[in-house]
Amino acid sequence: MSGSTTSGADARHRVVIIGSGFGGLFGAKALKRSDVDVTMVAKTTHHLFQPLLYQVATGILSEGEIAPPTREILSGQKNARVLLGEVTEIDLENRLVFSHVLRRQTVTEYDTLLVAAGASQSYFGNDHFAEFAPGMKSIDDALELRGRIFGAFELAELGAQRGEDIDHLLTFVVVGAGPTGVEMAGQIAELAHRTLKRDFHYINTRHARVILADAADQVLPPFGERLGASSKKELEKLGVEVMLGAMVTGVDERGLEVKYRNGRTERIEAVTKMWAAGVQANPLGRTLSEQTGAPLDRAGRIRVNSDLTLPGHPEVFVVGDMISLDNLPGVAQVAIQGAKYAAKEIDHRLADKPPQEPFHYFDKGSMAIISRFRAVAMVGKLRLTGVIAWLMWLAVHLVYITGFKNRVTAVLHWFVSFLGRGRSERTSTEQQIFARNALAKLDRGAADLVSDPSGEAHMDAEESRRVELEEKAREEARLTDRGERGVPVEQRAG
């Protein structure tokens, strides 16, 4: 076990940040000039730009373009260090954060804690759906979906060549008609109807069915009725079948079942399914709730004070997708603005300045892309659709992609995909498609595949390897000294 320990009168104030997403990264950066030591503990080595995950899944962008290494981003920030590890426990009384990676535990002490661990997919109590319908929350999810989507076309080509039924392979179902679901359905439709149409011999990819299913009766509810209706029309023009009022009640390897409001059920044969229907705040919220009494809402978000701290713990800030405060939406700006507010409050306290006013979210607007040249946007009272909204989407995403190089390469990829037909990031491997479910079959996931870092097993293996190597060397020397190399056994002396 290792831990960071800074103590004594001259020790600098220690800020520990959990998560390297929008809240975590922007919080760390906002503390660049502060008189503090920042330690960011995150379970991935990258900062993920989640809004563009669907472009990785559909072959437009590479994973590196939307997930630059956090260590590199913060390399110029002298007061920040990065620790890899999944936080499993937070001890508020003793101000300790426990994290693990491949059986290695790290304990990190803090004076102020900023929790920005985000949210994960919610299957509304049907977690077994996940095996066949991955969500869209991580690079692993996007690469798995990429493999499944392009793989389905390949299997359909093989099946068609053999004269088999391939409808289930050429049917793609996206569950959830929020921004992620709409973007994903639009892109799969573009792939099938435009990008891939000349690449296969035995199948006509334009015959692929792309279905967007949602239990609610509106597309893009957060964008209001008018933009929702126009998005639905745009999707239908692209060839997406929009099934509303259709609740998914079962998912298996070969397809899924939906139940309509009138009680009618329908089975859809579809090998490729994607889940974009709900979110559940990070389970660390429960640990924090149990220790502070702050309530959790139905999505597991923790109720924070108006200054984003926890009751009785002014040294603990929680920001982003984990919080429940004034019905704030789960969007990047809530996390970014919350993290900047927390950083400023830390500065105020260190300078003995009075506290800030309560946190106030400034809504800069929302947008969702439907297809190339088509998007919807909401900025204040303004409602935009079509090319103008799409250009706005382009500009905003360019500003927020991290790193100059990533911005340049993203623009090049967009040129190739939107003006041309190409998708240069179609590579997928068997591991990407099957690794998630294979790891889930192990008790402790990847940790079951590594040796114990305490070293006992390692020492045993080392010792037996040494004995083996010494024996081998003795045998080699004996063969040479006795001139037995190349001599048949029966002709050897003795």
Does residue 15 bind ligand FAD (CB under 6 A)? no
What residue type is 44 in one-letter code?
T
Rank residues 160 and 323 by Cβ distance to ligand FAD and give the closer one: 323
* Three-state secondary-structure class, residue 469: helix
Place of tokens 């946007």: 377
> Which of 203/378 has CB closer to ligand FAD?
378
* 72 near ligand FAD, rule: CB under 6 A: no
x/- mask, ligand FAD, residues 25-44, rule CB under 6 A, reads ----------------xxxx
- Residue by residue, DSSP assigns 257-326 as EEEETTS-EEEEE-SEEEE-S-EEE-THHHHHHHHH---B-TT-PEE--TTSEETTEEEEEE-GGGEEST
Of 51 and 159, nearer to ligand FAD (C-beta) is 51
Stretch that binds ligand FAD, among 22-30, 303-311, 409-417, 444-452 (CB under 6 A): 22-30
Least gap, CB of 111 to ligand FAD (angstroms): 19
Residues 6+ apart with CB under 8 A from 215: 245, 246, 247, 248, 277
Measured distance CA(185)–CA(166) in Å, rounded: 20
Please list the residues that pair with 257 across neighbouring strands.
250, 267
Give the closest residue to 372 by CA, choosing from 144, 190, 143, 141. Answer: 190
Strand 119-121 with 279-281, pairing: antiparallel
Quick check: helix, strand or coil at residue 10? coil
Quote the least distance from Cβ 163 to ligand FAD, whole Å.
38
| H-state helical runs in 162-276 | 179-190, 224-238
Using CA atoms, how far residue 268 sits from 152, 172, 240, in Å, is: 16, 10, 15
For strands 13-18 and 112-115, give the pairing. Answer: parallel
Looking at 16-24, 243-251, 410-418, 453-461, which segment touches ligand FAD (CB under 6 A)? 16-24
Of 82, 63, 83, nearest to 73 by C-alpha is 82
Q: Using CB positions, name the residue nearest to ligand FAD.
A: 21
3-class state of residue 99 by DSSP: strand
Residues 164 to 183 in contact with ligand FAD, rule: CB under 6 A: 179-180
Q: Which is nearer to ligand FAD, 98 or 168 (CB)?
A: 98
Shortest distance, position 164 Cβ to ligand FAD, whole Å: 34
| 443-482: contacts with ligand FAD (CB under 6 A) | none
Question: Using the rule CB under 6 A, which residue among 20, 187, 309, 417 binds ligand FAD?
Answer: 20
Judged by CB under 6 A, the residue of 156, 284, 310, 342 near ligand FAD is: 284
Which of residues 34, 205, 282, 428 is near ligand FAD by CB under 6 A? Answer: 282
The contact pattern for ligand FAD, residues 100-139, with x = CB under 6 A and - = no contact, is: ----------------xxx-----------------xx--
Give which of 338, 331, 279 is closest to 305, Cα–Cα: 338
Q: Which of 50, 55, 337, 402 binds ligand FAD (CB under 6 A)?
A: 50
Q: How many CB atoms lie within 10 A of CB 425?
A: 22
**Beta partners for residue 173, in sequence order:** 211, 273
Dist. CA 481–CA 139, nearest whole Å: 58
Number of residues engaging ligand FAD in binding (CB under 6 A): 32
Which is closer to ligand FAD, CB of 86 or CB of 241? 86
Cβ closer to ligand FAD: 87 or 288?
87
Q: Which of 14, 15, 21, 390 binds ligand FAD (CB under 6 A)?
A: 21
> For ligand FAD, which is the closer residue by CB, 195 or 333?
333
User: Least CB distance from residue 159 to ligand FAD, whole Å?
Assistant: 31
- Annotated active-site positions, please? 183
Name which of residues 292 to 331 contact ligand FAD (CB under 6 A): 320-321, 330-331
Near ligand FAD by CB under 6 A, which window of 47-55, 229-237, 264-272, 298-306? 47-55
Minimum CB distance to ligand FAD smaller for 329 or for 453: 329
* Minimum distance of ligand FAD from residue 207's CB (angstroms): 28
Q: Which is nearer to ligand FAD, 277 or 284 (CB)?
A: 284
Is 220 in contact with 177 (CB distance < 8 Å)? yes
Q: Is 18 in the site for ligand FAD (CB under 6 A)?
A: yes
Q: Which position among 108, 231, 333, 337 is part of the footprint of ligand FAD (CB under 6 A)?
A: 333
Dihedral angle sign, alpha carbons of residues 79, 30, 90, 448: negative
- DSSP 3-state helix, strand, coil percentages of the chain (rounded to 5)? 40, 25, 35
382-421 residues in contact with ligand FAD (CB under 6 A) are none
Q: Are strands 209-214 and 171-175 parallel, antiparallel or unpaired?
A: parallel
> Can you tell me which of 86, 140, 257, 484 binds ligand FAD, judged by CB under 6 A?
86
Q: Of the candidates 156, 174, 153, 176, which has an alpha carbon nearest to the alpha carbon of residue 166?
A: 156
Interface contacts to ligand FAD, rule CB under 6 A:
18-24, 41-44, 50-51, 53, 86-87, 116-118, 136-137, 179-180, 282, 284, 320-321, 330-333, 335
